[in-house]
Each structure stands twice: as C-alpha cells, then as structure tokens.
Chain A
Amino acid sequence: MGNRKTISRRSLLTGSAIAAGLALVRTATGQWVNALVPEKIPLDPTKQLGAPQGKMGTRSTFEKLEKIPSDTSSRTPLHLLQGTITPSDLHFERNHGGVPAIDPNQYRLLIHGMVDKPKVFTLEDLKRLPSFSRIAFLECSGNFRTGKEELTPQQICGLTSQSEWSGVLLSTLFREVGIRPGASWFLAEGSDAAVMTRSIPMEKALKDGILALGQNGEALRPEQGYPARLFLPGWEGNTSVKWIRRIEVSDQPFMTREETSRYTEKVNGKIRQFSFDMDARSIITFPTYPVSIEKGWIEIRGIAWSGRGKVIRVDISTDAGKKWQPAMLQEPVLDKAHAYFRYFWKWDGNSTEIASRVLDETGYLQPTIGQLINARGKDMGGYHLNPITFWQVKKDGRILLRPQNWK
C-alpha cells in the first residue's frame, strides 16, 4: 500500500474476483474488504481528513433499510429500527390511488357544510394558526399477516410507524369557521386519484384531531400526505386522510365506499362498522426471524402500543405462553404511542417459544388469536387483528414465526 491513504475499489478487483462475482476482495496488504461499498473507504479513518460539512445528512451506505412495497402498501422494517421514532422515509404507506404531486402554492383546503363561515385556506393561512405537536403511532387496521414460519416483524405488522406530527389542532381550525349546532360528523376528502373520503365524528376532531403539516421536524413527505393531512391519534390509519383538500361538516356520516365495503369487518355474521380505535398490540422485534441466537443472555426487545391510551405493562413468556413475566418499559411511555420494552433472558439451548403481550390503561390485555376467534367467529374479517405473536426458538438457534391459521 505504501503511503496511499485510500483504496480504490476498482483497483482491488482482480480478474478472478470479478469472474466469481465475489462480494469480498483482498487488498494489497492481505485484508478482506467488502467490494460493495463506495470507493475510497480509508483503511484507517483517523489518518485521512473526512468529508466536508454538507447541506443534507445522509444514511450510511452500509445501512440497507427498506420498506417492502406491494400493489397496495409498503411496510416499515420494524425489526431493523432502533428506539420508537420511524425515520420519515421508512414510514409505512397505504395509498388508494398512488402518491399525488401537489404544488404547495396551489394547495387549498375548503371547509364548508354546517359552518357559520365557509372558508378556503392556503398553506400560509394554515401556518399562521397556532402550531401543535405530538408523538404518536399510526397503524393500518389491515395490519396482520401470518401463514408461514419465515416472516419478519416487518412482514407481519409493518403497517405501523411512529412520528412526531405537527400542525393545527382541528379544534383551532374549526373555530375559524364556526361549527353550527347539530353538526356531528364531517367528511374528509383527499386530493389523490382516489379522492379518498372518510366520515369522521366531530367529537374525535375536537378531542385530539390534527391537521398535520409536519412530520419529524419537516414538512410531510409526499407519501405521507404533503402538504396537509388529517391525523387522528389512535385511530385506524385510513381515517387520517392524506392530501386533504376538503372538509364538509354534516349531521350524519356519508357512507363512503371506504367505510362501508372496505374497512369494515365480519363479526359473528354481522358487519362491524366505524371501528375506529386500534386495540393494544405488541411485537417482539429482537430476536425474530431471520436472526439466529446463541446460548446465554439475550435481550428480548420490541414495541407495544394502544390506540386507547398508554401502555401499562408488557409481559414476556419464554415458555410458549405458560408463564408471563413483566418486561421493562423505556420511559417516557406516551399516550397512543409505540413504547419500547426489554426483557433479559438466559437461553439454555432448548427449543421453546417466546412471546409478548401488552396491557393498556383501559385494562385491555392483548388477546391470542384463539380469543379473537372465540369473540368474533371463525369467519371474522381481516381488519383489527392484533393477536399475540409467538416465535419458535429452534435448538440450532433459529427463530421462526409460529403461524396462526384459522381459515
């Protein structure tokens, strides 16, 4: 190497390595390094001046964090995150007509119907109103996958994410137009290709609804509703209508497609409608598929949340649900937010199953899939399924999901 301070990746690739497609290549000093990294990674970062300050921060090219997109949604890599805040570019997506491109200068919000003064607001108008922020999770009500052992937390329930949301309280916004007596619902309408609509009870809006303009310190990402969306803490994600352009205040629900033929669920032969609240749920994010563990101390960790308030307790079982012990909760435990839990476990090398369950401040204890079937019938619909997730620990250290099939 002599006095060269950096290694050009290309210069290191020998003909045989290229032919074999090897990810690892050998340097002139005999070290094995990953060929799939940017050029000019110094062997010793203390011996070379680093990159200058920039206009934007970047994620290390060594970090491969990705959502899993499908035709309808895109899932957050829960098992690869640290702490409780989801990076904005990894927040899950569920769109009904793609992500629209919206010019903030052309953006308008119309509020009309049963109001004293119907009004049109520009983005600048909305930014003049008092700003409010809170940390909260957002979860799609269709957030449950199972059926095979090789599933990650991202695949099972990656349609939940957490952000600090900022914007105008709906109670503040509605004061600008004056809600008429008798108004009890409003229609929220998006400006996407689906012109997404949901009917929302006025009571929720006035309690804690937000017209969100910001997420994690900056303007909303286009995928999250830029430049403005509804955010209803603890409620099924579909109600937090993105790219909102119109609010019509009414004395009844509008019975839109999304709240009749979708986002409703069969329960004992009936169809449950306006099931807004997200029930409490938890998921272990480590150790889970695809990792393997070795004998000795393991920190079992994960997230727990409730759409009805605060997490009170998370229990861990390391014997397939026979006994449960309380985990430690990371402070602060916030209302309607992902809470971080941990539990120290000394694995003895025997096969077993590990699981978590959450208790929320209403006294609701996360159910098993069997309890959900007992309550809703075996033909229950696919929304609002929040069962305890069990992970099989194999003798060789592999962790696999215990599939939970009922149909």
Chain B
Amino acid sequence: MTTLSDIKPLPPDKSMRNETREDSIFKRLFLSPAVAILLLFSIFPLVWSLGVSLTTCQRTTSDQHTVVGDIFCLGNGAEFSLANFTRVPSDTRLLTAARNTLFYVVVGVTVQYFIGFGLALLLNQEIRGRAIFRLIFLLPMMVTPVAVGYAGRMMFDSGISPLAQFQRTLSTFLTNLTGQPISVAIPWLTDITTAPYTIVLLDSWQWIPFMTLLLLAGMQAIPEEIYEAARVDGASRWRILASITFPILLPISLTAILIRSLEMFKIVDVINVVTGGGPGTATESLVMYVFDTALSYGNYGYAAAIGIVLLVLVIIFATGFLAISRRITRNQLGGTS
C-alpha cells in the first residue's frame, strides 16, 4: 500500500524494446492531448489568475451577466496595481472566510474520519444484509451538494422541520418534568456559533460514506490470520483495534484525510444554499467570497487575488500534511520493526 508521499519506482518498460518510428509518433499522440489541455486550461489560467490579481480589473456595469473586458482585462482601463494584495491582511471578511474554511477542513474532516471509521468497523463485522447496509450508506455521496443544502434546510429549519418539532416536544416534556422552563431548541442555522457546525453536519452527512467505503476496503484487505493470532494471544477487542486495525489502516487513513481535506477547501454549494454565508458572514467560505466578489461586485482583480490566497493555503496545508504524515508513518514503521 502506497501513499501520495511515496514516489513509485519506474515501472518496467512494457513497450517494445526497440522504439520504432511509429512508436515514437504514437507515444506523443497518446499523451499530448491531455498535456496540452492541462497546460492550456489549468496551468495557463493559473498564471493568468496571478496576472489578473495584480490589476484593478473591474466590471463597469451592474449587470451580473455581462463581463466587460477582454481576455487581458484591459477593456475598462484596468492597470497594474498591488492594491489587491495589500488589501488582504486588513480585509476582515476575507480573514473570516479563511478561518471558516479552515474550520470546515479541520473539524469537518475529523468528524467524517471518526464516524466513517466507526461505521466501517460495524460493516466489517459478520452481519446480515451487509450489502444492503453498504448500499444505503453509500447513497448520500451521490446527491448533488445543492440538493444536500435544501434537504438540510428542511431538516434544520427552526419552524417546520421534524427536528424542531422534536426539540419543542422535548422542551415541553422537560419543562413539565422539572417545573422550570427548559428549552432545548437550537438555532441551527441562524446563530453565529452554531451555524458553522450545522454546515459541518450537512457536509458530513454527504461525505462520511467516502471515509467508510475506503476504510472498509482497507479493513477487508487485512488478513484474518493476524486477528486470529492476536486472539490466541488473548488480546482484547480494544487492544486489537488499537494495535492492529488502526496502525495497518494508518497510511490509507492519511491519504483519505488528505483527499477529503483538499476537497473541503473547495466547499461552496452547500453553504450557498443553506445559509448564503450568513448569518452575517459567519459561514462564508473562501470560494464563496471569490464568486461573490466576482459576480456581485464585478471586482475580478480582487476575486483572482482571493483565489490565489486560497491556493496558497491549500499548498501550505498539503505540504505540511505530507511532511507530518511521512513522519508518522516512518515512526510507526520504526516502532513495529
């Protein structure tokens, strides 16, 4: 089992030993389209984004749907300026959005990992109807995030949702029981402190299956003999989990956490539908701020700059994570050998 951090050795060359002229043509033919597309539509826009972020590129109409400006964004007299980046440290909205995004990444992915791990453990038992359960558990992952947002609003609405009704009933019950007014109603979507957690819950509903399925696949690859041996030695269930299952799954866990975290940095659709970034900007993510700046304010230069900030955060996170996970796996190998 390898992780992102390893670089695989060069695979054995499966092509004919002597490269013919035909081969050298096809060799280029196969790879070129993909490379060309990525250069043209991924690398080039990235460089361009950096360029635009250094200009005062701005839409001049209030109509969201007209993009005035040419490809160089010079159509509206945009000029070179560092203003977008000097604005970054003092833009409290940007700082809030960055903090929220990191909150989603850290808290969200942690929640998803542990619940996903727990569910994978359950599914890895000998149970009846495992296929059915696995199928049901998989469902949320395929739902369009925008739809998850609407479903979430219906679930967490403080007036008409079943959850709200349950909380009201419970409040009445507790009030009658104790004789004191007790309310367990939680303002899921309308409170500055709880709303980000609600977003995490919704995203988790959708993405716990990802963790579950991956970890389950990892668990099923662990040979039964290892468990047998541990049991013969009298290891308790917790001991087996802590000393066998968890360490063996560590590399795949780290990879799953990394992938999910990098995806989480892109979170936008659920938030946009559920809270629209509110209350205030309490739930706004960086990606949301990018498109709001571009669409509502038409400030393309600053939107590009926020995109760059996001990218820098992602790169710092990924580099740090890879360094730490390399150390963890190395220590572990050292410990067990």
Asked if A pairs with B, the answer is: no
Residues of A within 8 A of B (CB): none
